[in-house]
Structure 1
Amino acid sequence: MPAWNRRQFVQACLGAFAASQVSRVRALPDGRSACRLSAEQTEGPYYLDRALLRQDITEGKPGLPLSLQFEVLDVRTCRPLAGTTLEIWHCDAQGAYSGFSGMGGGMPPPPGPPPGGALHGPPPRGDHGPGGHPLMSHPTDQLTFLRGVQIADVRGRVAFRSIFPGYYAGRCNHIHLKLHVGGQAADGHYRGGHTVHTGQLFFSEADSLAAMALPAYQRHGLERMTLQQDNVYTTQHGDQSIATLLPPDGDAPRIARLTLAIDPTQQSREGS
């Protein structure tokens, strides 16, 4: 796989941000425009409040290099929303989440067929326990790969350097995200404030299949779940959260872009 450096990453980010913006905008009867509020999706069981304030979240993990680029808009005005903090986390090429390496959920399955036939794995974590809160897993380690936060600039833009996410039992390829407001950056972390949006980023089937053909993503004994088989995608408006994946440009990383339109005065249904 071609090497890519910080200069290439920055150039790719600037080039894509200079390109035409993809915003979910609709026209109002009087001719003005407004953004459509981005749909929320479940937080899932693998969230950890330990993400670092950083742009590069790879920590050496193998996989298809990916520049994740977000535009954050105020849904009330459709203008860029500076100062909001975007937090993301996702599994590695083999389906593992940092913080949960000592458990089975989200981890690569053991060799051989599971007892009783096909491997279906855990439910896709649209499930909830008593009181309507999402069921959570318990951390088993202090690892932090593929987790990070960034603060939106004056144009509401945020970028991360990562890899294309893998998959695991019960879920298609996806990236989790939260938007926070009112907190502060301190000691390399973002602390305080409250969550105004909880969601997930998805990819088209064609983009996911192309990435999963690469050696780092090869799996045995676990069939990949498609978008239309994924309960979170089909029941929580996942079609509104599919990233635009730009074609490769030489040795630069692939670029995945998504616009988020939020109301900074509101509280996420699954926020804290």
Structure 2
Amino acid sequence: MTDSGTFPSSRRALLLAVGSASVAALTAGCGRPAAAPPGGSTPGCVLAVEAGAGPNYSGPGATRSDVTDGREGVPLRLELTVVRASAGCRPLAGAAVDIWQADAGGVYSEGRQGPLRGVQVTDSAGRCVFRTIVPGWYAGLAPHIHFKVRPDARSETTSQFFLPEDFLREVYARPPYTRRKAPRSPNAHDDRYRAAAGTMTLAPVAEGGGYRAAYTVGIA
């Protein structure tokens, strides 16, 4: 299946992409660029444009942290923190967070209960965790993980995470991704990746046999 990659015309959501910066640092510096923490990460409080859900979103998936259903792939632990920009960038509890993505072969699951699709609700610190895999590539688009934040029944913010090209090349040299010939520059030809200006790109770090990526998402 392909992804339309279109942006909604009804509104442009305010999305504060703050990478792996801590909530405390975000609260202190919300509304202005923040210095990157030691080790490097996405700068804080950088505005980005909301991205479309694409044709593969079929509504909220099952409520679960592990979305893999045994699918092969390099493990990726995705640690998300949701904050409310209009409330001083404070953690947002009780927000539903959906993720959905392609598998290692670049294929999306069908139906709401399929693999690599799930929902978590943020705790009192605005946090939730997903256990997934590094997504494969398809249709010449930059590999990505879609997400949707639903703080209540009336509003939502939809976007997607990207991954660094050097990281993707390293992962795609491992099975099961080696069953296909990987693109030389996975992100280079995707307009959505360029439009995000790097602010929606995760910064994975090695953890066991896989990786971990932490990201704080601020909604208006």
Question: 2:190 & 2:57 partners in 1: Cα distance?
Answer: 19
Q: Which residue of structure 2 lines up, in the alignment, with residue 105 of structure 1?
A: none
Instruction: Tell me the amino acid that sits aligned with residue 22 of structure 2.
Output: Q
The alignment status of 1:47 with 2:48, answered yes or no, reads no
| 8 A contact 1:165–1:173 mirrored in 2 | yes
Query: Which of 64, 69, 80 matches 2:79?
Result: 69
Amino acid at match of 1:243: L
The aligned counterpart of 2:219 is: 262
| RMSD over aligned Cα atoms | 2.5
Instruction: Return closer, same or farther for 1:69/1:256 CA change in 2, 3 Å cut-off.
Output: same
**Residue deviations 1:86-130 (CA, integer Å, cap 9, x gap):** 10000000000001xxxxxxxxxxxxxxxxxxxxxxxxxxxxxxx
3-state SS of the aligned residue for 1:179?
A: strand
The counterpart of 2:161, out of the listed 196, 201, 222, is 201
| Match of residue 37 from structure 2 | none
Give yes or no for the alignment of 1:21 onto 2:22. yes
Offset of residue 170 of structure 1: 2.2
Q: Would the aligned equivalents of 2:165 and 2:185 in 1 still touch at CA under 8 Å?
A: no
Q: Distance in 2 between matches of 1:27 and 1:93?
A: 37
1:226 counterpart (154, 177, 186): 186
User: Shift in Å at residue 35 of structure 1?
Assistant: 4.2
Q: 1:82 aligns with which of 66, 83, 93?
A: 93
Q: State the percentage of identical aligned residues.
A: 34
1:229 CA drift (Å): 1.3
Call closer, same or farther: CA 1:257–1:239 in 2, change over 3 Å.
same
Q: Deviations over 1:209-266 (max 9, x none)?
A: 111111111244673652231121113x251111121123x45x41012110102xxx
Distance 1:153 1:94 in 2: 33
Runs of 4+ with deviation above 3 angstroms? 22-28, 34-39, 219-225
Q: Distance in 1 between matches of 2:21 and 2:157?
A: 25
SS in 2 for 1:54: coil
Structure 2 contact 59–112 (Cα < 8 Å) conserved: no
Answer whether contact 2:21 2:215 (CA < 8 A) is retained.
Answer: no
| Contact 1:67-1:254 within 8 A present in 2 as well | yes
> Deviation at 1:176?
0.3
2:165 is the alignment partner of 1:215: no
Secondary structure in 2 matching 1:208: helix
TM-score (norm 2): 0.75
Native 8 Å contact 2:30 2:85 kept in 1: no
The residue correspondences of 1:46-195 to structure 2 (distance < 5 A) are 46-76=56-86, 77-99=88-110, 144-182=114-152, 193-195=153-155
Distance 1:239 1:20, change over 3 A: closer
| 1:189-208 alpha-carbon deviations (Å, 9 max, x no partner) | xxxx1342110001111111
Counterpart Cα distance in 2 of 1:220 and 1:162 = 20
Instruction: Work out the CA distance in 1 between the residues paired with 2:201 and 2:189.
Output: 15
Instruction: Tell me, in whole angstroms, the C-alpha distance in 1 between the residues paired with 2:197 and 2:53.
Output: 13
Segments of 5+ residues of structure 2 without an aligned counterpart are 1-19, 33-43
Normalised TM-score (structure 1): 0.62
Mapped partners of 1:227, 1:221: distance in 2: 15
Cα offsets for 1:69-91 (capped at 9, x unmatched): 11111112111111111100000
